[in-house]
Amino acid sequence: MTEVSAGLGTGRASVGAILGFAWDAGEFTATDVMASTSLTRSTAIDAIDTLVGAEVLRELPNARVAGSYRSGRPARRFALSPDLGVVVGIDAGDTHIAVTVADPLDQTLVHHRVSADQTQSAAARRALIVESLGAALDEAGVARDRVLAVCVGVAAPVDRDGISPPHPDGFWERTNPGLAEALGAWAPVVEIKNDAQLAAVAEGALGAAIGCRDYVALLSSERYGGGVVVDGHVLHGAHGGVGEGVVFDHIVGVGSANGLPYSLQEAARAAVAERAVPADGALGRLVDEERIDPRLVLTLAASGDPDALLVAERVGAVVARIVGVLGSMYDPARVVVCGAVAESIEPVLAAARRILPEELHLPAPEILASTLGAEVVSVGAVATARRAARERTVPLLAEQRLRVTA
């Protein structure tokens, strides 16, 4: 029995089959249902009418009213109700909180983003996340009782109960400050996930890994982290730590789990300090800044600046070493580099592709830049919340409404 039909209880398999079909069907008829399920016409129609009565499905105007009727009796047409509720995806990053309110199918209603202070306490961070969630729902004009599912991405391992393990410096506890408990009353389903794992969900659903069953989403923002998909399944681990970036602190040629923006800054400063590039050149002048904008380095490299290309080559060697480790451990077909920096990272990836075959014995995976930009974790969080609504919340909602109308 599928999760949908299980949620509707024993003897409701036909209702569950209709509900499962309706998510992907858009507008449909009973004939469409029969063609995709094993249901007879009478069973299909009875189940459809049951779900219409529970206001989970709605009946659309028939073909005659819609203006497409030609001859014969127009078929009844149905679709999921537009009033089921909303889902919420939250990217709780180290320097920002982004809340996306969306419908259960494909429309984004509100995207609310605020800055976060990296030095704030766990309590202050928890309050900011809850406040941001409330503000986004208010902006969307949605009451709390309309939320079907919430998914939050955090830069920490997360177990299946939404809890992060202790960190030696308390970083994971601050990043995930009891969010499973703090948000538990906001929706029937609340899921706390590692941000790189959500990036992997996003790339598989809408990004560079569509149709690929073995890939790694290498989130490369503040720190490196890998969302690992093997045989079509996102790997998790006992504490949610699969792909945790701390391993890169211990790898010769990488030396740090700090992400690509930091790698580019450090490589640029080192190149000037070693006099490998002139201090009075375009790249050298950037090094005088307190913080080097990595996008400027990459723009220079893309324009052919030899000094910036040297930096891109050095950082490409680091990326090749990281991808080599991931390739040896998980044997992916693709590694997708994710995060805001991915939009302009091609000069680094070009260098990494040349170097990568030397880093592992297995066939080298493709190295691709994500097209989802800085919102990749938000995209994955919304996709995960939609799946939770589809598989868990809406079937339970249908069950509750059917009991009331029985």
Using the predicted structure, report yes or no on whether residue 35 has a pLDDT greater than 50: yes
Does 201 map to a domain? no
Per the CB < 8 A criterion, the answer to whether 224 and 245 are in contact is yes
User: How large is the average pLDDT for residues 107-113?
Assistant: 95
| Model pLDDT, residue 63 | 57
Number of other CB atoms surrounding residue 297 within 10 Å: 28
Which of the listed residues 52, 82, 112 is the one where a domain comes to its end?
A: 82
CA–CA separation, 393 and 406 (whole Å): 20
* Tokens encoding 242: 């699969």
- 8 A C-beta contact, residue 382 and residue 151: yes
Same domain, yes or no: 134 and 263: no
Asked whether residue 155 is assigned to any structural domain, the reply reads yes
- Residue 109: phi and psi, rounded to 5, are -95, -45
pLDDT at 12: 63
pLDDT score at 71: 52
Global pTM exceeds 0.75: yes
Chain centroid offset of residue 377 CA? 4
CA distance 200 to 153: 12
Verify that 133 and 58 share a domain, yes or no. no
User: What is residue 191's predicted lDDT score, i.e. its pLDDT?
Assistant: 98
Residue 332 lies in a domain: yes
pLDDT tens across 118-142, in order?
889 999 999 999 999 999 999 999 9
Q: How far, CA to CA in Å, does 299 sit from each of 26, 296, 341?
A: 43, 5, 11
The token duo for 269 is: 């400063």
- pLDDT of 65 strictly over 70: no
**Which CATH number do you get for residue 121?**
3.30.420.40
- Residue 216 and residue 364 in one domain: yes
The span from the CA of 61 to the CA of 267, in Å, is: 63
Structure tokens at 205: 């659903």
**Are 197 and 91 in contact, with CB atoms under 8 Å apart?**
no
Identify the pLDDT of residue 406.
Answer: 58
Secondary structure string (H, E, C) spanning 257-270: CECHHHHHHHHHHH
- Nearby residues of 94 by Cβ (< 8 Å), 6 or more positions away: 116, 118, 155, 175, 222
405 domain-assigned: no
Residue 216 has pLDDT above 60, yes or no: yes
- Give a yes or no: residue 339 inside a domain: yes
Residues 172 and 319 in one domain: no
In a domain, 199, yes or no: no
pLDDT of residue 349: 97
What pLDDT is recorded for position 75? 84
Q: Is the domain of 248 the same as that of 358? A: yes
Instruction: Kindly list the distances between the CA atom of residue 361 and the CA atoms of 226, 284, 328, 329, in Å, as whole numbers in the listed order.
Output: 21, 38, 8, 11
Asked if 187 and 49 sit in the same domain, the reply is: no
Cα distances from 273 to residues 260, 267, 269, 277, 288, in angstroms, run: 20, 10, 6, 8, 11
Same-domain status, 77 and 106: no
| Residue 231 included in any domain | yes
On whether both 341 and 221 belong to a single domain, the answer is yes
Number of domains in the chain: 3
216/356 same-domain check: yes
16-25, 127-136, 178-187, 369-378: least confidently modelled range: 16-25
Q: What is the pLDDT of residue 10?
A: 36
Given a contact cutoff of 8 angstroms between Cβ atoms, the answer to whether 115 and 349 are in contact is no
Residue type, 401: R
Whether the predicted pLDDT of 11 surpasses 70: no
57 and 119 in one domain?
no
Question: Tokens 């001859």 map to which residue?
Answer: 71
**pLDDT one-digit tens code per residue, 148-205:** 999 999 999 999 999 999 998 889 999 999 999 999 999 999 999 999 999 999 999 9
Lowest mean pLDDT among 43-47, 84-88, 181-185, 300-304: 43-47
Question: Taking a C-beta distance cutoff of 8 angstroms, is the pair 246, 257 a contact?
Answer: yes
Quickly state the pLDDT bin for 37 (edges 50, 70, 90): confident
Residue span of the structural domain in which 256 resides: 208-371
Look-up of token digits 């996102």: 234
Confirm whether 157 is domain-assigned: yes
pLDDT at 72: 54
For residues 182 and 235, membership in a common domain is answered with no
List 152's β-bridge partners, or say none.
Answer: 90, 192
Looking at the fold, whether 346 and 246 belong to one and the same domain comes out as yes
The dihedral built from the CA positions of residue 199, 157, 100 and 294, taken in this order, carries a sign that is negative
SS3 230: strand
Instruction: Choose the final residue of a domain: 32, 50, 82.
Output: 82
The pLDDT value recorded for residue 7 is 44
CATH of the domain at 54: 1.10.10.10
For 259-308, write each residue's pLDDT tens digit: 899 999 999 999 999 999 998 899 988 887 778 889 999 999 999 999 99
Which token pair is 301? 């490299």
Contact criterion met (CB below 8 Å) for 20 and 2: yes
- Is 100 in contact with 111 (CB distance < 8 Å)? yes
Query: HEC profile for 17-56?
Result: HHHHHHHHHCCECHHHHHHHCCCCHHHHHHHHHHHHHCCC
Decide if 153 contacts 202 (C-beta within 8 A). Answer: no
Please tell me whether residue 188 adopts helix, strand or coil conformation: coil
Q: Rg of the Cα trace of the chain?
A: 25
